Amino acid sequence: MKLTGNILDIKSKREDKNAGITIETDRIEYITYKKDGKYFQPFNFIDTLNEPVIITGDCLARSTTKHLQEGEYDFQVYDKIGDDYVLNENKFLSVLMVYDEEEQQSFLSSVEYTVTVSNEEFKQLKTERSKNNKNKKGKK
């Protein structure tokens, strides 16, 4: 995980001027909801990537969630389609910043990038990743 720029400059409205802010993460958490008896239950799969995903600040808007811990920030994620930005309700970003008293600076402590997918996509992702992992183990 890596942060370039000041993530705190991102406000609750998406802005083009935040394009210089980037967050790199090599982990994506995929979530799906399956019916378990009477109720839908969430199931997750954390994928560790070979190449990090880069999310730019112009594709983010700070979420207006009120009950966050100090240093925790949640963001809505927009997809850039041509010149337009479209809110993607299935993507979510959460970061935790820690303030260092000695350095008097905030540092990125953790990044959680979550994507909600359909049951079919979830099964396909898990199958592909397990095949890739078996192939990597076999080559060593």
Q: Residue 59: helix, strand or coil by DSSP?
A: helix
pLDDT in tens, 15-31: 999 999 999 999 999 99
Backbone angles phi, psi at 124, to 5 degrees: -65, -45
Tokens of 126: 């898990």
Task: Please count the structural domains in the chain.
Answer: 1
pLDDT in tens, 121-135: 999 988 888 777 666
pTM of the shown model = 0.84
pLDDT at 137: 59
**Mean pLDDT, the chain, integer:** 89
Q: Residue 78: helix, strand or coil by DSSP?
A: strand
DSSP label at 4? Answer: E
Q: Residue 138: helix, strand or coil by DSSP?
A: helix
Helix (H) or strand (E) holding 89: strand 84-100
Domain containing 93 equals 2-139
